[in-house]
Structure 1
Amino acid sequence: MNNTELNFKKEKSRQGETFLTKSANYLSTWSHKYVPDAFVIAVLLTLFVFLIAFFMNPTKPQEIVKSWGDGFWTYLAFTMQMVLLMVTGMTLASVPFMNRALQSIAKLANSPQKAYILTFLISALAYYINWGLAVVVGAIMAKEVAMKNPKAHFPLLVAAAYAPTALYSAGLSSSIGLTIATEDHFLVDVMGVIPTSETIFSASTIIIFLSLLITLPIVIVLIAPKNNIVSLNPNQFTNQTIDKPSRQNLTLAEKLEWTPFLGIILGSIGTFYCVFEFINGSSLDLNIINIFFLSLGLLLHGSLNNFAQGFKEATQSISPIILQFPFYAGIIAVLGSSGLGAGIIEWMASIASTETFDIFTYWSAGLVNLLAPSGGGQWALQGPLQVPAGLKLGVDPATIAMAVGWGDAWTNLIQPFWALPLLGVLGLKIKDIMGYCFILCIWVGIVTSVLMLFLY
């Protein structure tokens, strides 16, 4: 085949692409050229927030720097929770029969279109149950589906696994919805206790959730590239195995390493603890999930040696979490101490009316989330300002809270913070998926804004 024929076929293929596909290709190319590594983004955001904070408080530079340093380690416990979530989840997934089960599900994706839809829906189901669980499930599904379907564009598969992060605020682990449903939450004197029937289980929330659940996979299929497909290298995730020594040659120490007895005992204790806590009303938080994953891994791996090997292999991809999460903790601290976060929120609230207050709350939450990507942390920053302003206009506090939650989840699509675990496990960079996530972010913003105008 000569160059003329090759160029003609490429041009012909381009002419058959949809507007969305061309837009996605353009944004993907642009992202690869101009979107830096996620760590660079975290540093740039830190410097940007510092610059604005110093401009707003020119007489208090020492206080701003101190707030950053004091807040730098605020997420230390959370960082360790996320590290353990990824490592224990991937270790559990490496159990042979778990691996086979996931591969069986992945076989259902026998075309690129089905690959994108299946990855999105499985990840969305996990996000609805618990966002922490979804981080692991999304990574595993994207990997397994990509290995079974080399014609699917791997970066878009990863974007499809990450896209349901926009739905998390309507799920069972919605940090804001669950917070304001507790009797002693920090805004109880202002807004009272708001039951989940008025927030995550309300008709308006369910309508928005289902609308995004149905339309997002359609958009993902429409933006799928037709050319230059990047498939997953199947050798990238080959698990190393340790040959068990012959039973006749085992020393006492080796018998302890290879016996399934110790793992079964400890794993059973941990599993019993999780079941007991859940039955007695404990929420499905990161600590419970981590102990549960750890316990099941100990139960199912067959020996402590097998479990330790799986754990070791899983730890190779979590360095971005350890490195970058403290920087975002520092950013959130500066936003609070400098008044920058409050300024954004108050400006949005000042130009809103009773009818548009929730939409402006949604937009301001999306903007603040780009700098402070934490649902709980953002509610602590935005709630005390947004709720009193909305109540003065007669706005329902339940819709205010959900507007903040939807806004927080919305711009997660273009904020590297929550994508780090997924990208770390799958060996990609934020620029590999940003072009696709940007289009999905636009779609989510339009759909949610329009529906909120009629429903809230």
Structure 2
Amino acid sequence: MNRLAERFSKIVERFLPDAFVIAVILMLLMMVIALVMNPSDPLTIVESYGDGFWAYLTFTMQMILLLMTGMALAKVPFIERFLIRVASLAKSANQAYVLTFLVTSFAYYINWGLAVIVGAIIAREVGKRNQKAHFPLLVAAAYAPTVLYTAGLSSSIGLSVATEGHFLESMIGVIPTSETIFHSGTIIILLALLITMPIFLVLMAPKKNIIPFVEKEKKISSRIDGDEANKHSFASRLEHARIWGIITGIIGLLYVFISFFNGRDLDLNIINLTFLSLGLLCHQSLFRYAEAFKDAATSISPIILQFPFYAGIIAVLGSSGLAENIVNWMASVASTETFRLFTYWTAGFVNLLAPSGGGQWALQGPLQVAAGAKLGVDHAITAMAVGWGDGWTNLIQPFWALPILSVVGLHIRHIMGYCILLSVWVGVITSILIFWVY
């Protein structure tokens, strides 16, 4: 297995281009396919792309805030110190891979924005202490739990359908999280992947040509934290006063507690407010929180750049009828028992073109729900099958790996060979389980 992984990784490193190049090529490919399917109406395809380019601005902002508030929370000094102490627990290369995977998995369950920086910190600190560990595989181990976020507290689809006023409410109503992310079937799949994925990572570990972690020279911040001239000025004292962050954080958390007391379920907005408030409360100083937020923005700039292009792809998929054709074909060959499995596979394919759980649900959800309803499939199961498919091919869609790679200083091609092989295993075990546990 390690020989296969090494050879495959070298092939991927040679041929895989930058993630932004992949996004643009996919966009052009979708437009060509759309034109082939609708040769008499090329301007409509161009218009749908332009209209869709900005169609998901609200959702984009929710996703960016989810990521940035999680990353800012992970930069709280006592959390960073805790992660560094945890990293010291790994005493061998194999322990390094397993520890990195498990710690990041826990973070992904809580919040995938938090997990990005937690994974980067753990991979970096474990790599420092284990020079025999292959650093690209360590980073792959930190990114691999992205497949698990579907079952976590920041699940885009699970939280979306639990939010009042969501776009499919007229078709499926509001589905509580007890029927999606807290369903027993979801928990079984989650545990199966948690147990088997680190074993697969260890089997892929190279025995030679190890690339250890190398400390890069740190850049000196251009902004000095209170220079001598202004350190005791009124403005500086105001910026660094702890009271503002504490008060603002408490107010936000109080709102969250009141909302849950009044019966509100988890949704994207409440998760974002929770992590924003916790970040403010823990950083205390508004200056420190703003600096942590600024650092997070630097890491996710590739996502901000590429999200509109993928929104355009989603729009072209919808307007061309390609997505509808895929779902209709699937519904024609599926039965009530196999529908969830075909939904999982279809979602995995669509995610390669539209790597956003919420954006993909906006495109695929109405079609999938309608097809499932004809076969009498529970809407919650349909939603989770789409979610698992989305998480599965996140492993081979480089979009969401960009922030962690930005933090650790690697390119997508350094880890993608391992992620592709791991995705094969995830696809097999999830396909088997999703057929039986829902």
Q: 1:412 aligns with which of 394, 399, 413?
A: 394
Structure-2 residue corresponding to 1:12: none
Cα deviations across residues 277-324 of structure 1 (Å, max 9, x unaligned)? 455455555544555555445444464444444444444333212211
Q: 2:129 aligns with which of 145, 148, 153?
A: 148
Query: Which one-letter code corresponds to 1:139 in the other structure?
Result: A
Cα shift at 1:155: 1.8
Does 2:128 correspond to 1:134? no
RMSD over equivalenced CA pairs, Å: 3.0
**Contact residue 72 and residue 279 of structure 2 kept, 8 A:** yes
- More divergent stretch after superposition (439-448 vs 204-213): 204-213
Cα deviations across residues 168-197 of structure 1 (Å, max 9, x unaligned)? 222333333344456765555655665544
Structure-1 residue corresponding to 2:415: 433
- More divergent stretch after superposition (407-416 vs 283-292): 283-292
Relative distance call for 1:115 and 1:190 in structure 2 (3 A) is: same
Cα distance in 1 for residues equivalent to 2:125 and 2:316? 41
1:305-454 mapped onto 2 (5 Å cutoff): 305-454=287-436
Cα distance in 1 for residues equivalent to 2:235 and 2:52? 45
Cα distance in 2 for residues equivalent to 1:352 and 1:185? 27
Cα shift at 1:454: 3.5
The alignment of Structure 1 onto Structure 2 pairs a total of residues equal to 437
Cα deviations across residues 309-359 of structure 1 (Å, max 9, x unaligned)? 444444433321221111111111111111111111212222223443222
Cα distance in 2 for residues equivalent to 1:375 and 1:275? 27
Q: 1:51 aligns with which of 12, 17, 32?
A: 32
Structure-2 residue corresponding to 1:105: 86
- More divergent stretch after superposition (39-48 vs 171-180): 171-180
Q: 1:171 aligns with which of 152, 159, 168?
A: 152
Query: Which one-letter code corresponds to 1:106 in the other structure?
Result: A
Cα deviations across residues 122-177 of structure 1 (Å, max 9, x unaligned)? 22222223333333333333233223333322222222122122122223333333
Relative distance call for 1:299 and 1:196 in structure 2 (3 A) is: closer
- More divergent stretch after superposition (130-139 vs 213-222): 130-139
- More divergent stretch after superposition (218-227 vs 50-59): 218-227
Cα distance in 2 for residues equivalent to 1:394 and 1:161? 39
Query: Which one-letter code corresponds to 2:80 in the other structure?
Result: N
Relative distance call for 1:301 and 1:449 in structure 2 (3 A) is: closer
Relative distance call for 1:250 and 1:115 in structure 2 (3 A) is: same
Cα distance in 2 for residues equivalent to 1:432 and 1:38? 12
Query: Which one-letter code corresponds to 1:451 in the other structure?
Result: L
Q: 1:199 aligns with which of 180, 190, 196?
A: 180
Cα deviations across residues 1-56 of structure 1 (Å, max 9, x unaligned)? xxxxxxxxxxxxxxxxxxx1112111210111011000000001001100000101
Cα distance in 2 for residues equivalent to 1:81 and 1:178? 12
Cα shift at 1:391: 3.7
Unaligned 5+ residue runs, structure 1? 1-19
**Contact residue 342 and residue 381 of structure 1 kept, 8 A:** no
Query: Which one-letter code corresponds to 1:132 in the other structure?
Result: G
Structure-1 residue corresponding to 2:237: 255
Q: 1:63 aligns with which of 44, 47, 68?
A: 44
Structure-2 residue corresponding to 1:159: 140
**Contact residue 362 and residue 407 of structure 1 kept, 8 A:** yes
TM-score normalized by the length of structure 2: 0.88
Query: Which one-letter code corresponds to 2:113 in the other structure?
Result: G
Query: Which one-letter code corresponds to 1:389 in the other structure?
Result: A
| Larger Rg, first or second structure (1 or 2) | 1
Relative distance call for 1:293 and 1:383 in structure 2 (3 A) is: closer
TM-score normalized by the length of structure 1: 0.85
Cα deviations across residues 208-263 of structure 1 (Å, max 9, x unaligned)? 22111110111011111222222333345577594656699733344334444444
- More divergent stretch after superposition (235-244 vs 396-405): 235-244
Unaligned 5+ residue runs, structure 2? none
Cα distance in 2 for residues equivalent to 1:364 and 1:395? 16
Relative distance call for 1:403 and 1:305 in structure 2 (3 A) is: closer
**Contact residue 172 and residue 379 of structure 2 kept, 8 A:** yes
Relative distance call for 1:108 and 1:335 in structure 2 (3 A) is: same
Structure-1 residue corresponding to 2:208: 227
- More divergent stretch after superposition (113-122 vs 131-140): 131-140
Relative distance call for 1:405 and 1:94 in structure 2 (3 A) is: closer
Does 2:18 correspond to 1:37? yes
Query: Which one-letter code corresponds to 1:350 in the other structure?
Result: S
